[in-house]
A and B are shown apart, each in its own frame.
Chain A
């Protein structure tokens, strides 16, 4: 089996597994408590928070642990918009975690504007500037698109938003970005940033929201007041320990990742060069992302590839597993026909050039119906 669906989830890094192990066994403590077992859990949690904050260039009190990327996106948008029913501006190609939260906030009385993109998925900055107004509480633009790999110019987004309204917060869903990009919150200039551990070698079901200090954030989860009152619920200590270890490992591995995983992806595309068309130019795409149009419908190609032992994706799979024309490709102006012929191959920290070349041969077999 050749796994080329790393944007969906990527294998756990050994450092993460090792870091989690004790908390799945004898170090089971709840972080809220006044005895030794609890204190040990609390210490690990806060150590992890410091590590994670250090990597992002944030202070520990700006890191809120969540149950994943979707929850972090929900907290960012709802947290920022709900207090005064402030406006939300986001982009047509965002992940559902952002778009659906936007729809929810619209039903709750917020003004929600959805900005268009060009044919490569880059946000229309002129439209963005116009949409941001006095009552805009938060703007959300994802760093790397989960489906196409498009990298948004986040620095220019921040500049544009702050020019229109310096008090408007900028959120970025950076869930796909951590493995390949150095995410320093100050360099990016964002106020809110979401991560999900399982996209960079941590466990599933844990993530974080960076929230610049001083931001008034309405909680989404109410309860015992964990995470500075911003995210109640007993801590996933093993998950957080795994996430922190994966972050340390992935950050240290980043230069190699960009070089070697990028090469693997290029080798894959090179072998297929006369049969594919890239959706997004390499210059504005994540190095691990290969979003392509091919000569066979993706539903058929997926089944053939699965038979041949290649795990890929037609985009972002819906819960049922059926492939439908995605909102991302529609927003980029692709026809239904083009969307139906689009495939996503995403490489990750375990990918090798040899494996990528073998995968390309299997893709050729699948295209020719030899499965």
Chain B
């Protein structure tokens, strides 16, 4: 088969490309140019820096596969950055990596890979696709510490039929060993942790530049509506956050609510963060929709653990109250290792 490997310049996608090549496929490598700053500056962190694409290019040369840089700046801006900014402006906590997968990698790039004559799109995600009785299942990666099924939970049958995640069957350490064995220059490269267009900076600095309205100062209130202090802009706050609330009080305070329309941040104690249920929007299914009353597990943060809940017509009823469930975040729905679907948390 002819396959397109999305190469970020990291070790995982490098090994993914090598594994596909070793399996005898005709491999084409591509790096997506996702973002550049207002003066054309390249990102400095995450998965799309200039030096990363240079690494990807060199790995492709080493594997002797053709390699292209594809311009995705416009799709990335409209699909990911605009939503990132708009979510924070509306007091929500976005998940740009999920949006990138939804609107860029597994939509436009998937289409483009077909236009290149490729049968499959391959990435270096730690997740697995299984084919059971002609239906495609999306499973957690074998390495549970590296599992990335959360950011892929929006994929459906149409996408899963045309994607492969070759490193999903490996432990990260095995991936690195393979890379060392193949002499890939990316073998020892540290994992990227940051949001690619934000980098090492705090995201509020990015927002300050991108959307100054998110940084209007305003009051910090307690649950009773009493003013406790002030803040420099709602964009810096996420539900459940404790750090940087900036009010000197005897007890620990958490951000409980963000009201962007009045630039107000409400703080409370831990019990004020508890939610029993959340409503989801933009619900997607890997295969079949759930029926009301089904028991599932829900992961509502990229690095969280899954907790039991009941599905009730777009609402998740947690078995035990949860804290710090932030609107805007993706809820990935699981049964064991299997991803069932996803949704975006609308309101707690």
Contacts and interface: CB of A to CB of B under 8 A. Distances in A.
Contacts of A299: 70-71, 112
Interface stretch (A51-59, A76-84, A119-127, A318-326): A318-326
Interface in A129-166: none
Contact of A300 (B33, B50, B112): B112
Interface in B92-139: 112, 115-117
B321 interface: no
Contacts of B73: 324
B117 A320 contact: no
Contact of A323 (B50, B66, B71, B116): B71
A contact patch SS? loop
Interface in A171-214: none
A-B pairs, 6 with minimum CB distance: A322-B71, A321-B69, A322-B33, A322-B69, A300-B115, A320-B69
Contacts of B117: 304, 307, 369, 371
B115 A321 contact: no
A303 interface: yes
Interface of A: 296-297, 299-300, 302-304, 306-307, 320-324, 369, 371
13 contacts: A296-B115, A299-B71, A303-B116, A304-B116, A304-B117, A306-B68, A307-B66, A307-B116, A307-B117, A321-B69, A322-B33, A323-B71, A324-B71
Contacts of B115: 296-297, 300, 304, 369
Interface string B63-86: 000101111010000000000000
A351 to B, nearest CB: 23
B256 to A, nearest CB: 44
B33 A320 contact: yes
A323 B73 CA distance: 11
B53 interface: yes
B245 interface: no
Contacts of A320: 33, 50, 53, 69
B278 to A, nearest CB: 40
A335 to B, nearest CB: 14
Interface of B: 28, 33, 50, 53, 66, 68-71, 73, 112, 115-117
A316 B6 CA distance: 24
Contacts of A323: 71
A194 B66 CA distance: 35
Contacts, number: 39
A303 B70 CA distance: 10
Contact of B70 (A306, A322, A369): A322
A303 B50 contact: no
Nearest to B2: A307
Contacts of B116: 300, 303-304, 307, 371
Nearest to B4: A303
A323 B74 CA distance: 12
A303 B33 contact: no
B53 A303 contact: no
Given A303-B116, A304-B116, A321 B68 contact: yes
Contacts of B71: 299, 322-324
Question: Of A296, A299, A322, A323, which is in contact with the most chain B CB atoms at under 10 Å from its CB?
Answer: A322
Given A320-B50, A322-B33, A303 B68 contact: yes
A342 to B, nearest CB: 14
B21 to A, nearest CB: 16
B50 to A, nearest CB: 7
Nearest to A296: B115
A302 B66 CA distance: 12
A324 B73 CA distance: 9
Contacts of B68: 302-303, 306, 321
A320 B70 CA distance: 9
A266 to B, nearest CB: 29
A320 B112 CA distance: 19
B35 to A, nearest CB: 12
A369 B68 CA distance: 18
Contacts of B28: 303, 307
B44 to A, nearest CB: 15
Given A322-B71, A324-B71, 11 more contacts: A297-B115, A303-B68, A304-B117, A306-B68, A307-B66, A307-B117, A320-B33, A320-B50, A323-B71, A371-B116, A371-B117
A371 B33 CA distance: 24
Contacts of A307: 28, 66, 116-117
Given A299-B71, A320-B33, A306 B112 contact: no
Contacts of B66: 303, 306-307
A341 B159 CA distance: 27
Question: Of A303, A306, A323, which is in contact with the most chain B CB atoms at under 10 Å from its CB?
Answer: A303
Question: Of A297, A304, A320, which is in contact with the most chain B CB atoms at under 10 Å from its CB?
Answer: A320
A267 B69 CA distance: 31
A353 to B, nearest CB: 28
A64 to B, nearest CB: 31
A293 B69 CA distance: 21
A306 B30 CA distance: 13
A320 B72 CA distance: 13
A323 B70 CA distance: 7
A26 B89 CA distance: 69
A303 B68 CA distance: 8
B210 to A, nearest CB: 21
Nearest to A299: B70
Nearest to A308: B117
A119 to B, nearest CB: 24
Contacts of B50: 320
Nearest to B26: A307
Contacts of B53: 320
Contacts of B33: 320, 322
A324 B70 CA distance: 9
A324 B77 CA distance: 14
B222 to A, nearest CB: 50
A371 B66 CA distance: 14
Nearest to B111: A300
Nearest to A302: B68
